[in-house]
Chain A
Amino acid sequence: MGRLARADRLAVLLLVVLALATLVVPMVSSQDPLAIGDVLALRLLPPFSTDAQGHFHLLGTDRFGRDLFVRMMLAGRISLAVGVLGSLFAGLVGVVAGAIAAWSRGVVDWALMAVADALLALPRLVLLLVCAALWAPGLGTVVVVLIATGWMGIARLVRAELLGVRAQPYVESAEALGASSVRVLARHALPNALGPAIVATTLGVGNAILLESGLSFLGLGIQPPRPSWGNMIAGGRDLIVVAPWVALAPGLALVATVLACTLIGDSLRDRLAGETAETLRDRV
Chain B
Amino acid sequence: MLRRLAGALLLLWLVLTITFALIRLAPGDPATFLVPPSATAADAARIRAELGLDRSLLVQYAHWGKRLLRGDLGESFSLRQPVGTALRDALPISIGLGGASLLLTFLIGVPIGLWQAVRRGRPVDRALTVATTLVYAAPSFWLALALVAVFTYGAAVWGFPASMRLPAFGVRAPGLELHGLPAVLDVIRHALLPVTILAAVGAAGIARFSRSSIADALGHDSVRTARAKGASPARVYFRHVLATILPALVVLFALSLPGLVAGSIFVEAVFAWPGMGRLMVNAIAARDYPLVMGAATIYAALVLFANLAGDLALPLVDPRRRT
Residue ranges of A at the interface with B (Cβ–Cβ < 8 Å):
114-115, 117-123, 125-126, 129-135, 206, 210, 213-214, 217-218, 233, 236-237, 240-244, 247-248, 251, 254-255, 258-259, 262-263, 278, 280-281, 283-284
> Interface centre among A118, A213, A247, A248, by most B CB within 10 Å?
A118
Given the interface contacts A121-B15, A281-B205, A283-B263, does A126 sit within 8 Å of B137 by beta carbon? no
Q: Does B47 contact A (CB under 8 A)?
A: no
Chain B's nearest CB lies how many Å from the CB of A119? Answer: 7
Chain B residues near A121 (CB, 8 Å)? 11-12, 14-15, 300, 303-304
Report if B118 contacts A (CB, 8 A). Answer: no
Q: Once the chains bind, are B133 and A122 in contact (CB under 8 Å)?
A: no
Interface pair A255/B269, CB less than 8 Å apart: no
A129–B141 contact, CB under 8 A? no
Q: How far is the CA of A128 from the CA of B289 in the complex (A)?
A: 16
In the complex, what residues of A have CB within 8 A of residue B26's CB? 130, 133-134
Q: Tell me, yes or no, whether B256 is within 8 Å of chain A by CB.
A: yes
Which residues of A are found within 8 Å of B262, using beta-carbon distances?
Answer: 123, 125-126, 283
Among residues of A, the one whose C-beta sits closest to the C-beta of B28 is: A133
> In this complex, what residue of B is CB-closest to A134?
B26
Instruction: Say whether A129 contacts B284, CB under 8 Å.
Output: yes
Given A123-B259, A133-B28, A255-B138, answer yes or no on A118-B205 (Cβ-Cβ < 8 Å).
no
Interchain CB contact (< 8 A) of A129 among B146, B198, B205, B280: B280
Candidate in A240, A247, A263 with the most chain B CB atoms within 10 angstroms: A240
Q: Let me know if B299 and A259 touch, CB within 8 A.
A: no
Residues on B with C-beta less than 8 A from A262 are 133, 136-137
Q: Give the shortest distance, in Å, between B299 (CB) and chain A (any CB).
A: 5
CA distance A132 to B139 in the complex (A): 19
The answer on a CB contact under 8 Å between B209 and A117 is: no
Some 20 contacts from A to B, beta carbons below 8 A apart, are A115-B18, A117-B11, A123-B263, A125-B265, A129-B284, A213-B139, A214-B141, A218-B281, A236-B145, A237-B145, A244-B154, A247-B145, A248-B149, A251-B146, A259-B133, A262-B133, A262-B136, A278-B252, A280-B206, A283-B201
Q: Count chain A CB atoms within 10 A of each CB in B266, B287, B295 and give the residue with the most.
A: B266
List, in ascending order, chain B residues with CB within 8 A of A129's CB. 265, 280-281, 284
The answer to whether B258 has its CB under 8 Å from any CB of chain A is yes
Query: A110: shortest Cβ distance to chain B, in Å?
Result: 11
Most buried by A among B15, B209, B255: B15
Residue among B149, B205, B206 making CB contact with A240, cutoff 8 Å: B149
* B residues apposed to A, CB below 8 Å: 11-12, 14-15, 18-19, 22-23, 25-28, 133-134, 136-142, 145-146, 148-149, 152-154, 198, 201-202, 205-206, 209, 213, 248, 252, 255-256, 258-259, 261-266, 269-270, 280-281, 284-285, 287, 292, 295-296, 299-300, 303-304
Closest to A132 in B: B284
| Least CB distance, B52 to chain A, in whole angstroms | 20
Contact B139 A254, beta carbon cutoff 8 Å: yes
Give complex CA distance A284, B205 in Å. 13
**A248 near B142: Cβ-Cβ < 8 Å:** yes
Cβ of B65 to closest chain A Cβ, rounded Å: 16
**CB distance A119 to B153 under 8 Å?**
no
Q: Which of A119, A122, A126, A259 has the most CB of B within 10 A?
A: A126
Complex Cα gap A250–B319 (Å): 49
Complex CA distance for A97 and B237, rounded to whole angstroms: 43
Task: Name A278's closest neighbour in chain B (CB-CB).
Answer: B209
Verify B153–A284 contact, CB threshold 8 A: no
Q: How far is the CA of A200 from the CA of B216 in the complex (A)?
A: 21
B139 touching A263 by the CB < 8 A rule?
Answer: no
Output the least CB separation between B255 and chain A (Å).
7
* Min distance, Cβ A155 to any Cβ of chain B, angstroms: 16
CA distance A244 to B142 in the complex (A): 11
Other than the known A117-B14, A214-B141, A217-B139, what 4 A-B pairs have Cβ atoms closer than 8 Å? A133-B23, A251-B145, A255-B142, A259-B134
**A118-B22 CB under 8 A given contacts A240-B145, A283-B259:** no
* Contact in complex: A251, B142 (CB < 8 Å): yes
Which of chain B's residues have a CB closer than 8 A to the CB of A132? 284
Question: B11 is contacted by which of A114, A135, A213 (Cβ under 8 Å)?
Answer: A114
Would A284 and B300 count as touching, CB distance under 8 A? Answer: no
